[in-house]
Chain A
């Protein structure tokens, strides 16, 4: 069941095209990640999908409602949590939820039931009388999530939800998100922290207003067919840079502490060739083929896109 169906969305600010012909289909149960550098068009896209910014052209149905005619109804069906948790510090946990619930039109018994349900779901029932300002970051983040889901939205938007949170709270948070997805919701995550992207079941990478690639993490890692990724250790950086940078089959080179990561265009060489070359130049170097991280994929796709855009 499609929760979001967007076709050819375009948003222009004067002459600047912030979102350029973006189409998206997001199903219930999915955790969809929208990735991109600053200014790629992520935020503008999400604002349109939340019904708070009118597209210049294109159409979209969000939770079954038309983006142009029924924007107000859309707002009741979605929840939004940003990296700057918009909580009231001088209210208690329960008072915050009561406030956010009432914004969504919940009252009386329904509101009280929903407060109890969210408190139990996110594991904050025993903390409900605590002042929000006294809570550690990881707990605040859970409360922010509770405030975003108090009205049982069909679509949950998360904007860099776990940046700066400790690994334990983070893993707890993503387990909750998986439960919401399994339950009924479609989840959309926007982030430029690529370790958050690892939690998504499907990803799209944006650059200059366009979606440049899309797929499940495993599908995206099949970029492997075109590129191969290597890690080299025990090597002099200066010499390595001088020796490797003139080679055209090396697409990207990055320094990781005491290691070098290489992305190579695989049609032009194989592992044996590169290994042979490096062993002759640097007898002590260790070289191994590695699976690319989401960050490797991101950087390489973007670089490829920039190359394609450049007129020859």
Chain B
């Protein structure tokens, strides 16, 4: 069951302008999982995805999909890959249905009527088949583009930042659809700049400036951390921050203060003492590390 559907080893890409977009990226994706490619703009996510569909040739390293070398058996492999690029490549002057038919014809498949019906239903687009793509809302365009990349029954799909610029409701709907596809057994690799989305994936590869920051199963990453987050709620949050600033580096989040701690019991005693001296009303909680603090912490460690 844990078959590695995608294996990438030591992948590097240097563009002609000498920018190193990828350096020595190694990871694998297991069959049937949602794999998150996480990183800020410019981290190399799009370059990596383009390499994975063979649209861009890496300078070094190997890519194996379905156990076959991508460069040697490109034609064979590519028919089972779905790709959703950042700018949905839909035809605005075609209707929803015509777009789907067009993408099916490129892939030279015939018998797809039932699949089309099923996908339209899944994405709640059944009532919009005759609408021009350019007249759809952002969320609907995104779903149509997803249908077009799924119409030929790919085994794995690569989604390049499908939720950027999409509002929270459409975003949640989209993730529910991804869970549905996962149930069908489709492997999903999704690039995103949002760490809260990473928390919805089974495994992740976090990148920054073309390099791996961390990777693995999400559960393992979060479990293996040695620190906790101390959260302080106080009526005067900036006074509280200043009170502890010579001992701890802390960040204000709205009405709370977050402090990364490797020794929670001792640190809480110190914080309490400082805040009591100032007569502040406060409350302290301990949180397990979330992905954002793990990411921040690992970048800080690398810079140090």
A, B bound: yes
**Chain A interface residue count: which class?**
35 or more
- Stretch from A8-16, A67-75, A164-172 that touches the partner: A164-172
Check A257/B218 contact, CB under 8 A, given A164-B41, A166-B208.
yes
Indicate whether A174 sits within 8 Å of B251 (C-beta atoms), given known contacts A163-B193, A257-B201: yes
A249 located at the interface, meaning its Cβ lies under 8 Å from any Cβ of chain B in the complex: no
Interchain CA distance A186-B292 in the complex, whole Å: 26
Name the B residues within 8 Å of A198 (CB-CB).
253-254
Annotate B218-256 by CB proximity to A: 1 below 8 A, 0 otherwise. 100000000000000100011000000000000111111
Nearest-neighbour CB distance to chain A for B197, whole angstroms, equals 9
Provided the pairs A38-B138, A258-B202 are in contact, do residues A295 and B168 lie with their beta carbons within 8 angstroms? yes
* Majority DSSP secondary structure for residues of B touching A: mixed
Tell me the A residues contacting B by CB distance below 8 Å. 31, 36-38, 136-138, 163-169, 171, 174-175, 178, 182, 192-195, 198-203, 216-218, 237-238, 254-258, 293, 295, 298-299, 302
Interface pairs A-B: 5 shortest CB-CB: A166-B40, A255-B179, A37-B167, A164-B41, A257-B200
B289 at the interface (CB under 8 A from A): no
B167 A299 Cβ-Cβ under 8 A: no
For the complex, is B124 an interface residue (Cβ under 8 Å from A)?
no
Question: When each residue 261-304 of chain B gets 1 if its CB lies under 8 Å from chain A and 0 otherwise, what string results?
Answer: 00000000000000000000000000000001001100110000
Q: In this assembly, does B195 line the interface, its C-beta being within 8 Å of a C-beta of chain A?
A: yes
In the bound complex, residues from chain A placing their C-beta under 8 Å from that of B238 are 178, 182
Contacts of B296 in A (CB 8 A): 167-168, 171
The answer to whether B254 and A201 touch across the interface, beta carbons within 8 angstroms, is: yes
- Pick the most buried of A137, A169, A203: most chain B CB atoms within 10 A of its CB: A137
Does B102 belong to the interface (CB within 8 Å)? Answer: no
Cα–Cα, bound, A291→B208 (Å)? 30
In contact, B175 and A256 (Cβ under 8 angstroms): yes
Which of B172, B252, B299 is in CB contact (< 8 Å) with A167? B299
Q: How far is the CB of B111 from chain A (nearest CB, A)?
A: 26
Beyond known contacts A37-B169, A256-B175: 6 more, CB 8 A cutoff: A174-B251, A175-B251, A175-B252, A198-B253, A216-B254, A295-B196
A37 with B168: CB separation less than 8 A = yes
CB-based nearest A residue for B167: A37
- A175 vs B168: C-alpha distance when bound (angstroms): 25
**Beta-carbon contact of A199 and B167 below 8 Å:** no
CA distance A174 to B252 in the complex (A): 8
Interface residues of B (CB under 8 A from A): 34, 39-43, 137-138, 164, 167-170, 172, 175-176, 179, 183, 193-196, 199-202, 208, 218, 233, 237-238, 251-256, 292, 295-296, 299-300
Instruction: Tell me, in angstroms, the Cα distance from A169 to B41 when the chains sit together.
Output: 12
Given A166-B208, A167-B292, A171-B251, A193:B194 Cβ within 8 A: yes
Let me know if A194 and B179 touch, CB within 8 A.
no
**A279 → chain B closest CB, angstroms:** 22
**Please, which residues of chain A bring their CB within 8 A of the CB of B196?**
194-195, 293, 295
Give every chain A residue within 8 A of B41 (Cβ-Cβ). Answer: 137, 164-165
Bound CA–CA A167/B251 (angstroms): 12
With most chain A CB atoms within 10 A of its CB, the pick from B137, B176, B252, B254 is B254
A182 neighbours in B (Cβ, 8 Å): 238
Tell me the bound Cα distance from A101 to B168 in angstroms.
36
